[in-house]
Amino acid sequence: MRSIDLDSLEIFRTVVQEGGVVRAAGKLGRVQSNVTTRIKQLEQRLGRPLFRRQGRSLVLSPEGELLLSYAQRLFRLADEAESELRTGRPRGVLRVGSLESTAGSRLAPLLSRFHQLYPGVVVELATGTTGALLQRVANFELEAAFVSEPFTAPGLQALPVFEEELVLVTGKDVAAVRQARDLAGLTLIAFASGCSYRKRLEDWLGASAVMPARTLEFASYQAMIACVAAGTGFAIVPRSLLLALRAASDVRQHELPARVRRNRTHLVWHGDPSTALQRLQDLLAA
């Protein structure tokens, strides 16, 4: 059986982008009936509806959303192939995800160097928790992401890239924390569920049957550290981030057990890497 051709996918993508068949036909220079027929043929071939009618508009079905993600990847690869064959250099958009801590403390020099070497590639960076980033890579919304241990990523490839030292931080008036029980009754300050650092800390507390008095969730390390410095509670952060934010003197740092303290950041991706991603991996290896 022949594979789906790029021409059919281009018609499908244009209908999505233009919000309907009429405008897509005008954009493509085709008659409306031809566009409608090609969409129906695509749906018949796949055995799934790609659109649903909502009033006068067409909206993507879940199957259509999935096909669109694959279509975008195919067009990107086609553009990359043509560009690299013509110029020998990668071009296009590289969508990368990252933990906020990694973005704040590790990626600036790396992405600056990458831009110097490959100015034709536009890097789009999105931040999130390890859990959220893994899901976006699996769904092809991101080409790759920097995530932290512990994680499971069936179907994804992973490359360890950074060694991190995690540190427990509290307000300056808190006595030295030598064991998990010293934190009983205090407030945990963390990212939302899905954060691998939070899971590591909660596992350590749980092993000693310690429950925080409450948990406050924040969306940025700056807010978390400010809250800790104000004496509200405790948090776990990479030491490199404290240094990058120049916040080490604002809080009291407590050393964690080695099994909790030692951590690695990995780059994960799905399938064969694009030329741009391969170049980024080469920089990380170097």
Q: What is the DSSP letter of 142?
A: S
Place of tokens 């800790």: 228
What is the pLDDT, as a whole number, of residue 246? Answer: 82
Report the alpha-carbon distance of residue 263 to residue 238 in Å, rounded: 9
CA of 212: how far to CAs of 166, 173, 262, in Å?
Answer: 19, 18, 23
Query: Cβ contacts of residue 284 below 8 Å, gap of 6+?
Result: 110, 159, 161, 267
pLDDT value at position 161?
92
- What is the pLDDT at residue 4? 77
Q: What is the per-residue pLDDT for 267?
A: 95
Tell me whether strands 157-170 and 235-238 are parallel, antiparallel or unpaired: antiparallel
Q: What is the pLDDT of residue 133?
A: 92
One-letter amino acid at 126 equals A
Q: Output the pLDDT for position 88.
A: 59
274's tokens: 């694009």
Sequence-distant (≥ 6) Cβ neighbours of residue 75 within 8 angstroms: 6, 9, 10, 13
Burial of 239 (0-12, 13-18, 19+ CB in 10 A): middle
pLDDT of the residue at 87: 62
User: Cβ distance 201 to 190 under 8 Å?
Assistant: yes
Nearest to 222 by CA among 104, 131, 70: 104
Helix%, strand%, coil% for the chain, nearest 5: 50, 25, 30
Long-range CB contact pairs, 196-199, < 8 A, 24+: 196/129, 196/130, 196/131, 196/147, 196/148, 196/149, 196/150, 196/151, 197/101, 197/148, 197/166, 197/236, 197/237, 197/238, 197/263, 198/236, 199/150
Compute CA distances 124 → 91, 117, 140, 144, 229, whole Å: 13, 16, 14, 11, 32
User: Could you list the pLDDT tens digit for every one of the 286 residues in the chain?
Assistant: 566 788 888 898 898 888 888 888 888 889 989 989 998 988 888 888 888 887 777 888 888 888 888 888 888 777 777 766 666 577 778 999 998 888 888 898 999 999 999 888 889 999 888 888 999 998 888 999 999 888 888 889 999 999 888 889 988 888 888 888 988 889 999 887 778 888 888 889 889 998 888 899 888 888 888 888 888 889 988 888 888 878 778 888 898 898 888 888 999 998 888 888 999 999 998 8
> Collapsing DSSP states into helix, strand and coil, what is residue 145?
strand
218: closest CA among 226, 208, 207, 210? 226
